[in-house]
């Protein structure tokens, strides 16, 4: 897979992909990440890329020309499966979307800033719009890191143990059960007996119960009786 990230603040990605699972995914060629600076496509002397919004109101808007030039150039080089605009005024990103994107070859992530991007970029180029939650970030960059991480770890071969990804919270619509490692007792707190017993059926049943319990308690919106 190849991920192209379009941003006005490329520095925000420094370090985001340089450790742990994401670093290894890049080293092992499961994914290529290319970060593009919108400012490099400014046609102004002062390299400006934003302007006041028509109709008035606080906050600057990323201009149509530099974004169109950059995105147009990228689209000439390859066909994109998805051109995704990261913005709080969109439907929420979730595990199902991460699963879908992880199967694709070429994805572009557009990071907005200030009040967002000129609507005509959305009309001309954007195929998907996603928000990562009901709160506002200063820009789409941190959201792009979140979305990239969620996608990359699902690319076949990136995780050593695919069953680990399949048992994640949200993968089956429920939250994950509690997990324990050694020692079996710590400060008087014991690991549940069933996990020490080695009865795979019993363990599976216990995990399902705990998943349901936790989901009903903290995320009743995810829980349905069927």
Among 136, 187, 189, 198, binds ligand 6GU (CB under 6 A): 136
Compute φ and ψ for 108, nearest 5 degrees.
Answer: -115, 135
Q: Which stretch binds ligand 6GU (CB under 6 A): 29-37, 74-82, 131-139, 151-159?
A: 131-139
Show contacts with ligand 6GU in window 84-113 (CB under 6 A): 86-88
- The secondary element (H helix, E strand) that includes residue 113 is none
User: Going by C-beta distance under 8 Å and a sequence separation of 6 or more, which residues neighbour residue 188?
Assistant: none
CB of 150 to ligand 6GU, least distance (A): 12
Residue 118: phi and psi, rounded to 5, are -50, 130
CA atoms within 13 A on the CB side of 106: 10
Nearer to ligand 6GU, 127 or 184 (CB): 127
- The overall longest dimension of the chain from CA atoms, in Å, is 71
Q: Interface mask (CB under 6 A) for ligand 6GU, residues 48-87, using x and -? A: --------------------------------------xx
Residues binding ligand 6GU (CB under 6 A): 86-88, 131-133, 135-137, 139-140, 143
């Amino acid at each position: 897979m190849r991920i192209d990230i379009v941003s006005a603040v490329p520095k925000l990605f420094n370090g985001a992909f340089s450790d742990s699972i994401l670093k290894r995914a890049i080293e092992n060629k499961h994914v290529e990440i290319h970060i593009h600076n919108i400012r490099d496509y400014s046609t102004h002397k002062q390299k400006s890329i934003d302007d006041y919004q028509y109709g008035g109101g606080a906050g600057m808007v990323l201009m149509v020309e530099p974004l169109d030039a950059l995105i147009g150039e990228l689209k000439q080089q390859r066909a994109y499966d998805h051109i995704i605009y990261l913005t709080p005024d969109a439907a929420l990103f979730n595990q199902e979307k991460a699963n879908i994107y992880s199967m694709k070859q070429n994805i572009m992530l557009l990071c907005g800033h200030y009040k967002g991007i000129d609507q005509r970029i959305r009309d001309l180029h954007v195929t998907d719009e996603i928000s990562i939650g009901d709160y506002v970030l200063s820009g789409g960059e941190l959201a792009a890191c979140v979305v990239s991480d969620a996608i990359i770890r699902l690319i076949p071969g990136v995780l050593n143990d695919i069953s680990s990804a399949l048992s994640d919270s949200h993968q089956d619509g429920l939250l994950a059960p509690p997990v324990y490692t050694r020692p079996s007792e710590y400060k008087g707190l014991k690991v549940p007996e069933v996990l020490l017993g080695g009865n795979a059926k019993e363990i599976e049943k216990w995990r399902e119960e705990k998943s349901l319990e936790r989901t009903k308690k903290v995320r009743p919106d995810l829980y349905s009786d069927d």
